[in-house]
Amino acid sequence: MNINMLMQQAQRMQKEVEANAKKAKEELAQTEVSAEAGGGLVKVTMTCRHVVKRIEINPELLQDDADMIEDLIAAAMNDASRQAEEISEEKMKSANSGMGLPPGLAGMF
């Protein structure tokens, strides 16, 4: 195998990795996660690209202390964000699988 063939193969692999990563990112933008806090008093829905789509607050909660409401919103947002991150990592791993990338390098795309 000569150097030109190796370079062509590397370029094909790079294009395939880029295409897989782009497709995975597009899918993540459409994938939604939901989380709740306070036994369902606050619900958050966001995409796996961390775009908040909806926040639902149970009307009963609005009579409570503002600090509690803020804490519950933060807890639900953090849970949704964690879920989105887990799905994103898994999706990007599968997008880069089979590329023969060294460990740790696959996460860069």
Superfamily of the domain at 32-96 = Nucleoid-associated protein YbaB-like domain (3.30.1310.10)
* CA separation for the pair 37, 78 (Å, rounded): 10
| Predicted confidence pLDDT, tens digits, the chain (109 residues) | 688 888 888 888 888 888 888 888 898 899 999 999 999 999 999 999 999 999 999 998 888 788 889 999 999 999 999 999 999 998 888 777 755 555 555 555 4
The phi, psi pair for 16, rounded to 5°, reads -65, -40
Q: Domain ranges in the chain?
A: 32-96
Beta bridge partners of 33: 46
